Structures are given as C-alpha cells and as structure tokens.
C-alpha cells in the first residue's frame, strides 16, 4: 500500500467483516505539532488480547481467502517509518480502536491519496453500515455522517448512484474548504 487512504480502506473493511454497524474514521492534520493522526473506531465483534497480539503478525489472518494479513503490520510500519506510532485497542464484544500517528512533514510519510474515493467505496459496498468521517486540518473541520444522510434521502438506498455522486461532491467540497490556501 503506497497511500494512507488504502490503509484506511483496508482497516475499515476489516471493521465491516468484524460485524461493525458503525465505523468512525478520523483524520487530523496538525501543522503546529507536525502531526498527522488517523483513528478508526468500530463497534464490531472486537478482539481478545491474544487476537490483538496476533494481528501484528503478517502471517495471521481470520480471512478464509488468503493466508496472510498485512493490513495492520503495513500500517504500523508506515507510521514508524514516518516518525510516528501505532496503537490498537480492542475488547471482545465491544469493538476496536486503532490509532496511527505520523510526522506530518516527514520525508517517508506516505501521501494521503484519494480519501474521497475510499469513503465512497466503503459506503457503496457496505450500505448496511454507517460511516462517520471526520477530517480536521488545524482549526478547520469537515465531517460526514451517513446516519444524517439517510434521514434526508427517505427510501432511496444510500448506495444509489445519484446519492453516491452527491456524497462525493460533499466530501470533495468539504475537503477543499479545510485545506490551506496556496
């Protein structure tokens, strides 16, 4: 994975596979602290302490399709390579919280990538899950909550093409408003 957005997609998909009904994705860019923080919280099935330890092993996975699970090891490595850290907390039956930090201007920090596409793909492929996306750049904030969108669209499915197109526009506009002026 060459972009942080791909890591976010992988981890959020793990949340969905773990039975999460709500996944919260937070990105915080703090120029003053030279810190980029990515947090993903879910209300999925959670993990035991033993499963948490195994999650850092690239040769451990609960997936039946392949015999390795690189998501957490790769994100951990990406954070450490960019002068950051990684934390994983989980409780069986309660959910999981993941936090990765990076030095914002570190030469080895992976670029963010197309986070809008990631959020759209998550919503399109998992219409039964609620996604909360929060992005902060210094003092500017953007948030999107599919629970709020569902209230507005009545009987239309959230993964309807026109709804997804609208959501993509909202995300793109929101992110452009919080980014620094050139």
Domain, as residue range, for 132: 4-178
| Domain CATH code at residue 135 | 3.30.565
Helix (H, G, I), strand (E, B) or coil at 31: coil
For 79, other C-beta atoms within 10 Å of its C-beta total 25
Mean pLDDT value across the chain: 91
Contact, 9 vs 115, CB < 8 A?
Answer: no
Predicted pLDDT at 59 = 64
Choose between 122 and 50: higher pLDDT: 122
Contact, 36 vs 101, CB < 8 A?
Answer: yes
Model-level pTM? 0.91
In the chain, the number of structural domains is 1
Which whole number is the average pLDDT over 66-92? 86
Rounded Cα–Cα distance for residues 172 and 94 (Å): 32
Half-sphere exposure of 94 (CA within 13 A, CB side): 6
Which whole number is the average pLDDT over 161-179? 96
Q: Model confidence over 134-168: pLDDT tens digits?
A: 999 999 999 999 999 999 998 899 999 999 999 99
Residue 65, pLDDT > 60, answer no
Which whole number is the average pLDDT over 93-122? 97
């Amino acid at each position: 994975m060459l972009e942080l957005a791909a890591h976010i997609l992988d981890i959020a998909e793990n949340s969905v596979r773990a039975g999460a009904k709500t996944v919260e994705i937070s990105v915080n860019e703090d120029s003053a602290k030279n810190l980029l923080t990515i947090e993903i919280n879910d209300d999925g099935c959670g993990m035991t302490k033993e499963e948490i330890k195994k999650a850092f092993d690239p040769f451990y996975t609960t997936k039946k399709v392949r015999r390795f699970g690189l998501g957490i090891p790769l994100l951990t490595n990406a954070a450490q390579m960019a002068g950051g850290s990684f934390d994983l907390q989980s409780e069986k039956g309660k959910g999981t919280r993941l936090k990765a930090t990076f030095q914002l201007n570190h030469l080895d920090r992976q670029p963010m990538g197309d986070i809008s596409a990631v959020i759209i793909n998550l919503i399109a492929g998992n219409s039964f899950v609620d996604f909360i996306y929060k992005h902060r750049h210094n003092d500017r904030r953007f948030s999107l909550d599919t629970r709020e969108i569902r209230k507005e669209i009545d009987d239309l499915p959230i993964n309807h093409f026109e709804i997804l197109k609208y959501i993509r526009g909202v995300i793109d506009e929101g992110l452009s408003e919080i980014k620094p002026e050139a």
